[in-house]
Amino acid sequence: MSRQTLSSLLLVCAILLAIGAAVTLLPSSALTISDLGYRTLCPFAPWSTVTLLFLAGLAWVVRQHINSQPA
């Protein structure tokens, strides 16, 4: 796998994880109330949000490291 392909794949993963983190906070008609005090799409919010943002940040850091390596 080329460096450009891996960099693009990590960028897409980081974006999807960040979008997923935002989606977990959306209000919903779920039966369970999250730790935030309202019914969210994900009953594990905000912990799932923090986890997804951490993974997105990790993908971003790895992508930056790959891009900084000499050819």
Indicate if the pLDDT at residue 37 is higher than 90: no
For residue 1, what pLDDT is reported?
Answer: 84
For residue 6, what pLDDT is reported?
Answer: 95
Indicate if the pLDDT at residue 71 is higher than 80: no
Q: Residue 46 and residue 58: Cα distance in Å, rounded?
A: 18
